[in-house]
Structure 1
Amino acid sequence: MPPRRFKSLLRATFVCLSFVTLAYFLIGSSFEGQRSRTTHVPTTTTDRVSEKKASPRWLDSAPPFIEAIMNPEDRLFDRLECPALEGTRYEHFRRSSNVVNITTRMPEYFFALDLTDCAHVLPRLIGSIVETMRFLGPENCALSIVEGRSVDGTYEILKLLQETLASIGVEYTFATNETDPMAKEGVRIEVLAGLRNQALKPLLENPNSYAPETTVIFLNDVALCMEDILELIHQRVYQQADMTCAMDWTFLGDNPTFYDVWIASGMHGDSFFFVPETGDWDLAWKLFWNHRASAERLEYGKPFQVFSCWNGAVAFAAKPLLEKHVRFRVSYEGECFQGEPKLFCKDLWYYGYGKIAVIPSVNVAYSDPMAKRIKELKGYVSRWGTTEDASSKIDWKLKPPADVKCMRSYEDQPWLPWDEQLAEHGVAP
C-alpha cells in the first residue's frame, strides 16, 4: 500500500500537470455554466482566438527545440528513448506517395492537441508525432494545435514549427487561445470542451476535406513514442473499434498510479479503481478490483472494452463528428457533472459508436522522467510482442452498462442511467 505521506505529493502533482487532465477533480461538484437544452453542441467561451506577441527571449531559445523535434537522433534534450520500428506490423498504413494528389488530398490522419506551458515535453511529444507523420506519409496527415497562456516558450516553438512542417508537406494549423479554464468559477469544463473543439476546427469546418474513415489522434501533453501512436491507430483498425485509448500514469511515491480515473469507466460502469469519499488513493493499485475480465486482459496486455476513457492519448473515427455532429460539450441541466471526454464517450454510445477500448500496451506519462519510469515498469509496445491471435480480439458488447457511476465529487458518487438526460434534451439517436 502506498504510504499516506505520499498523498500530498500526489495532489501537488495533479495541480502541476496538464490543464486537460485529471485536475477536473479539484473543481468540486457544482457547475454554473451555460447548458443547451435542445442540442448537444455547447455555447462555449473559447471562440476568441488571440494573436500573441512572441517573446524575443523564447524565440532565441526555440531553434534547438525545432532541431530536436525534427531529428529523432538529436541528443541535446534528455528525453524518453524510443525504439526503432522493427517488422511489418504497421506497414499496412503506408501509402505510395504517387497515389496522392497533393492539390486535392484528403488527409487520412488528423492530429489534434491543446497545449500550454509544456516546452519540456515538446521534443519527445511533437518529435514522435513528426516521426509518425513521416511514416504514414506527411501528405496523408494534418496537424492542429491550440496553444494557450504559455510563458515557457511553448508558443514560440510551436509557431516557428510552421515553416519547418510545411517544408515536409504537413498541413499544420496553429492557433492560440488565452481563455483560462480556471479564471472563473464553474466554467472549467465548458472552456476545456471549447478548446478541444477548437483543436478539431479544421476538420469540423471542412467536412468535405475529410473522409468518415479518417482517424483522429488526440493527444495530451504526454511523452510517448511513435510506436505508441501507431499502436493506437493499428488497434482501432484491427479491432474495428470506434475509439482506442492509452493508459496514462503518474507516481504515488515509487508506485505507478493510473491517472485519468475521473474520466475512465469500465464495462461494469465503475471507475478503474475505488476512490472513497475521503479522497484517499490508497487503493489505486487495485485496478478493476470488481471486474475480473478487464483485470485479466489488463494484466496480459490485451485490449479490452470500456464505457469511457481518454488516458492521455486516443485515436477515434471522424465519422461520428462528421455525420452525427458529436462534439465535446458540458453536462446538460440535470445531467451528472463530468468531464468533457467522458461526455464525448457517452454521446458516442448514444449514436451507436460504443466500440471503445483501452490498449494496455500503450503507456504514457506527463514528463520524460515519468515516461522513462513507466516504460521500465510497464514496457514499450514492442516488448509486449507484435503477434496477435484469437484471444487478442475484443468480444464487443453492443450495449453499455445500464448504470454508470457519476463522480460529481469524492463525497458524491451516485449510480445513474448511462444515457441520463440525453433524450430529455432533444438528442436524437
Structure 2
Amino acid sequence: MENGDSTDNTISQLNAFKIKLNEANIQNTIIIKKIIQKSFHRFNYLSEIRNEALEPLYNLKWNAIDTRIIFLNDIYYKVSDVINLINTNSMEYDFACGVDFYYAFYDVLVSRDFNKSNLMNYYPYFKNPVDQKLVRNGLPVRVFSGWNGMVIMKAAPFINHNVFFRQNQLDETMESECYFICKDFWKLGFNRIYINPNVKVAYSPIFYYLHKYCMGPVNIFTDWYYWLIED
C-alpha cells in the first residue's frame, strides 16, 4: 500500500517488485494511489489507510490460523531484520515489533510496558529492571503495546474477530491507531505482545547504521560506566 506521497523512488520500486512477484507466480496486491486525506484527524486518516491495506486479507480468504501480517512504516531495514522479527520468541507470539530510531528510540508514543508505563527514548528503553535485563541480554520483552516501524501480528483477530484500525472511542483517551490495535488484541486474549530489541530499524540510512552497528558498544560502555558510579 503506497499512499502516493513518497518523494523517493518507492513507487517505481514497488512496480518493479510487482513484476518480479508476477514472474514468480506469487500472489500479490500492490496498491499505489494518491490518497486524499478526508479526515482532519491524523489517527483517523492512518486508520483508513491501514484498513484499506488489509482488504486483500479478506478478499482472498487467507487461513486465519496460519497467516501473519507484516506492516512496515517508511523505514530502512534489511531482509534479515524481517526474518529476525518473524523468529521472535521462537514464533510464540501474537504480535511482535522491533525498535525504531531517529536520533533516539522514536515510537514511545505507542509503546507501553507490560504495566502500561511509558518507555524511554534512550537505552535500555524500559524503566523496569527486569525488562532492562532482558534488553541487555538481547531477549524479547513482553509489553502491553508497541509498533516501532515494523510489526508482525497474527491475522486471526482481523479475520475471525473483526478487529480493525480505529480512533479512540468516547470513553477512551486519544491514542494512536496502532496503540488501539494492541489494546483490542488484549481484549480478545491475543496478549503475547513483544518488543524484540535485536530488531533495529530507522527512518534514514545514517540512523539505521548508527543504531544497528555503532550504538551497541556505546550502550555497553554507558552501562559499565554507570555501574562503576553506582558501585
Of residues 162, 165, 170, the one that matches 2:21 is 165
Change in CA separation of 1:239 and 1:161 when aligned onto 2, cut-off 3 Å: closer
**Percent identity (aligned):** 29
Summarize deviations over 1:126-168 as a string: whole Å, max 9, x none.
Answer: xxxxxxxxxxxxxxxxxxx333233544323323432222112
Distance 2:66 2:134 in 1: 28
Distance across 2 between alignment mates of 1:285 and 1:298: 9
Question: What does residue range 395-414 of structure 1 map to in structure 2 within 5 Å?
Answer: none
**Partner of residue 377, structure 1:** 214
Give the gaps of 5 or more residues in structure 1.
1-144, 252-256, 274-282, 380-429
Specify the alignment match of 2:227 in structure 1: none
Greater RCO, CA 8 A, separation 6+: 2
1:260 to 107, 114, 121: 107
TM-score, scaled to structure 1: 0.47
Q: Count the aligned residue pairs.
A: 216
Q: Deviation digits for residues 202-239 of structure 1, max 9, x if unmatched?
A: 002333x3342212111112111222111111126x25
Cα gap change, 1:329 to 1:177, in 2 (>3 Å): farther
1:272 alignment partner AA: L
| 2:152 aligned with 1:315 | yes
Q: Counting helix residues as a fraction of each chain, which structure ranks higher?
A: 2
Distance change (3 Å), C-alpha of 1:361 and 1:150: closer
The TM-score with structure 2 as length reference comes to: 0.85
Query: 1:224 and 1:272 mapped to 2: Cα distance?
Result: 22
User: Is 1:155–2:7 an aligned residue pair?
Assistant: no
Against the structure 1 CA distance between its residues 371 and 286, is the aligned structure 2 distance closer, same or farther, given a 3 Å change threshold?
closer
Contact 2:64 2:160 (8 Å CA) reproduced: no
Quote the offset at 1:333 in angstroms.
1.7
Contact 1:146 1:195 in 2 (8 A): no
CA 1:184–1:315: 2 relative to 1, 3 Å: closer
Q: Distance in 2 between matches of 1:159 and 1:353?
A: 35
Cα deviation, residue 184, structure 1? 5.4
Which residue number corresponds to residue 146 of structure 1? Answer: 2
Amino acid aligned to 2:155: A
CA RMSD of aligned residues (A): 2.0
Cα separation, partners in 2 of 1:249 and 1:152, compared to 1, 3 Å: closer
Structure number with larger C-alpha Rg: 1
Q: Note if contact 2:96-2:153 (Cα within 8 Å) is conserved in structure 1.
A: yes
Task: Note if contact 2:124-2:136 (Cα within 8 Å) is conserved in structure 1.
Answer: no
Task: Give the partner amino acid of 1:171.
Answer: Q
SS at match of 1:222: coil
Cα shift readout 1:323-380 (whole Å, capped 9, x = no counterpart): 111111111123110001100000000000000001111111112222111111356x
Change (3 A) 1:378 1:166: farther
Q: Is the 8 A contact 2:124 2:132 kept in 1?
A: no
Select which of 200, 204, 207 maps to 1:363.
200
SS in 2 for 1:172: coil
Distance in 2 (CA, whole Å) between partners of 1:154 and 1:229 is 18
In the alignment, does 2:108 pair up with 1:243?
Answer: no
**Following TM superposition, by how much is the alpha carbon of 1:285 offset from its aligned partner in structure 2, in angstroms?**
4.7
